[in-house]
Amino acid sequence: MSTTSVTGRPSTADPGAGRSAPGDPMIPRLFEVREVRLDTRDTVTLALEPQDGVPLAHRAGQFTMLHAFGVGEVPISICGDPTQPGPLLHTIRDVGAVTHALVSTPPGTAIGVRGPFGTGWDVTDGVGQDIVVVTGGIGLAPLRPAILEVVSRRAEFGRVVLLYGARSPEDILFAEDMARWAAEHNIVVEITVDYGPPSWTGRVGLVTNLVPRAGFDPLNTLALVCGPEVMMRHAATALVERGVPAQRVRLSMERNMKCGVGLCGHCQVREVFLCVDGPVMDYARLAALMDIREL
């Protein structure tokens, strides 16, 4: 799959090109829940297998529309490795009726999947450069495929830095993955929490506070940011102030998505439809929109 987004940034070749998705992405396909993994107290990862046996090709950063029958549909980013075969993975926080139904789905049950939709992180644009990932909470899930893609081609990138913030130590997502990336793939991982018990010996504070002192070459960096919108705005500002060009800072904007194809208008921000023009967009395009409180 090769497309060009409205940001003017051409998408790279699909890393999952060897795996095909049949038919129209608008038509739901049945996937069986093979595994339900509790990641934190309110966050679950579902491993899904297609009932027709054909894996769903996707790019890092894309999302699908997951349908819990009898309840509704919701957009969820794919968190699995786009370069490897295997189940389709979605990490979901239990925050509403549809997400509650999805995280409560027992193995063996079928759910509907539409997609994939949206733009990707396109990490190959950072080959030969440093990669900086700034994320908070469940925002690490949409970034996990990009990190795995970098890991699979680690020698092609310079310094790789992951700055991650969570509400508390028990809310840290993918802790084992981060430890492995640091130990086996020379990725600098810095973790901070908003608050911690007396037993917590790590950092406490905002993840954006880690940006000014992180070790990377700002003029030779591709930065990827995902998390709460206020955190992304401050993280992008900190990266630009550090010297990273705004067009080299990419954010995943996922608020208010509903239909996934730009028809309902729920995710419209002035002239931008986040589900179609995004979710991954350059900060150079988003800065003016994110500074307007009413938007």
Q: How far is it, in rounded angstroms, from Cα 41 to Cα 33? A: 20
CB 103 within 8 A of CB 41: no
Q: How far is it, in rounded angstroms, from Cα 101 to Cα 110? A: 12
User: DSSP label at 207?
Assistant: G
Domain at 123-290, CATH from 3.30.1650.10, 3.40.50.80, 3.10.180.10, 3.40.50.300? 3.40.50.80
pLDDT of residue 275: 77
The structural domains of the chain, with segments of one domain joined by +, span: 29-117, 123-290
Across-strand partners of 203? 192
pLDDT of residue 15: 41
- Residue 36 zone, left/alpha/beta (φ > 0; ψ -120 to 50; rest): beta
| DSSP secondary structure string for all residues of 56-111 | ----TT-EEEEEETTTEEEEEEB-S-TTS-S-EEEEEE--SHHHHHHHTPPTT-EE
Reduce the DSSP state of residue 224 to 3 states and report it.
strand
Tens digit of pLDDT at every position of the chain (295 positions):
333 333 333 333 444 433 444 567 888 899 999 999 999 999 999 999 999 999 999 999 999 999 999 999 999 999 999 998 889 999 999 999 999 999 999 999 999 999 999 999 999 999 999 999 999 999 999 999 999 999 999 999 999 999 999 999 999 999 999 999 999 999 999 999 999 999 999 999 999 999 999 999 999 999 999 999 899 999 999 999 999 999 999 999 876 777 777 777 777 778 787 778 879 999 999 988 887 665 5
CB 65 within 8 A of CB 115: yes
Class of domain 29-117: mainly beta
| DSSP secondary structure string for all residues of 11-51 | PPPPTTTTS---S-TTS-EEEEEEEEEEEETTEEEEEEEET
pLDDT of residue 292: 66
pLDDT of residue 21: 44
Residue 16: exposure state from Cβ atoms within 10 A (0-12, 13-18, ≥19): buried
* Residue 168 structure tokens: 């508390």
> Same topology for domains 29-117 and 123-290, yes or no?
no
